[in-house]
Structure 1
Amino acid sequence: MKKYYVVDWQIEKKMGDDAKFLTIADDPLTACALAIHLKFNTAMINGSYRVSEKGFEMHEDDIFVDSNQVNQVYLDLYENNYFKDQGDN
């Protein structure tokens, strides 16, 4: 597992730290799903999340993860009780 810094970069300027989430996950998609579930409390459609292993500031090797892919991963994890297994009821 790796440490991921997830940013909902489309609302970062308006929301500040509320648009940022630090987590440990298997991969960037799961990190984004955890951000939705534990911090953002909402999912976006046709957008993207910026994910880094270095920090919240921009880096050349940051990746942008399609929100529609994240939403599908979130649903799969939810249906398989992933979040319950993480201590969230």
Structure 2
Amino acid sequence: IAGVHASLPLPRGDYLTAPFDPRFPNANQTRNCFQNYLDYHRCIKALEAKGKDTKLCEWYHKVYKSLCPISWVSEGHGLLGVHGIGFILGIDDCMY
């Protein structure tokens, strides 16, 4: 069996599993997904207002992309869209 694993190709890409967040200890990570989505956009907005590089915000982006279903984060469909988390949580509009 050890030889089988050695012959498998290595995965490509920059994979990230979201770290444990004690604010969201349950198996359902919907709110964790949404919180990281909001944190990412708050970070972008705050740093752009100060004229600083937004590269620091990429961590939030990677985490919410890891936690959220693909249909919620696909290009052109925000989390607050018709079938996104805003719909599921009953949020019509969000100020961040």
TM-score, length-scaled by structure 1 = 0.31
Larger RCO, structures 1/2 (Cα 8 Å, 6+ apart) = 1
TM-score, length-scaled by structure 2 = 0.29
| Structure number, greater radius of gyration | 2
Determine which structure has the larger helix proportion and give its number. Answer: 2
Determine which structure has the larger strand proportion and give its number. Answer: 1
